[in-house]
């Protein structure tokens, strides 16, 4: 892997992977929740109309 002209910093690359791992789980949970909420809202709307 050859990076571009900007020095990514080795410490920055490692911590980036660590933080991404930390935030990934809540990120996906929130996204699933948003999908469910959207689905429920749509059903709700269909029932009322």
Partner 1 sequence: MTTKSAADRLIPTQPTSGSVREPASFRDPIGFVYRRDGVLYRQISARHAADWQAFVGSGLFGQLVERGWLIEHDEAPRELAHDEDAWRVLRPRPLGFISYPYEWAFSQLKDAALLTLDVQSAALEAGMSLRDASAYNVQFDFSRPVMIDALSFEKRREGEPWVAYRQFCQHFLAPLALMALTDVRTSVLLRDFIDGVPLDLAARLLPASSRLRFGLAAHLHLHARAQGRRRGSAQPSAAGEDNGGGQRGRPRLAADRLEALIASLRAAVAGLHWRPAGTTWADYGDTTSYSSPAAASKREIVGRMLRATDGDWLWDLGANTGYFSRLAADMGRQVVALDADHGAAEQHYRAVRDDPALPRILPLVVDLTNPSPALGWAHAERQSLLGRANAQTLLALALVHHLAIGNNVPLERISELFAALGRELIVEFVPKSDRRVAEMLAWRQDVFGAYSLDGLRAAFDARWQLIADEQIEDSQRTLLHYRRR
Interface with partner 1 (CB under 8 A): 1-24, 27-28
Q: How far is the CB of 27 from partner 1 (least distance, A)?
A: 4
Cα–Cα distance measured from residue 1 to residue 18, given in angstroms and rounded to the nearest whole number: 19
Q: Which is nearer to partner 1, 34 or 42 (CB)?
A: 34
Q: How far is the CB of 37 from partner 1 (least distance, A)?
A: 17
Q: How far is the CB of 29 from partner 1 (least distance, A)?
A: 11
* Token pair of 6 as six digits: 């900007």
């Amino acid at each position: 892997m050859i990076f571009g002209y900007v020095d990514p910093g080795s410490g920055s690359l490692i911590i980036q992977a660590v933080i991404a791992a930390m935030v990934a789980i809540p990120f996906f949970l929130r996204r699933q929740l948003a999908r469910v909420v959207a689905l429920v809202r749509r059903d709700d709307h269909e029932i009322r109309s």
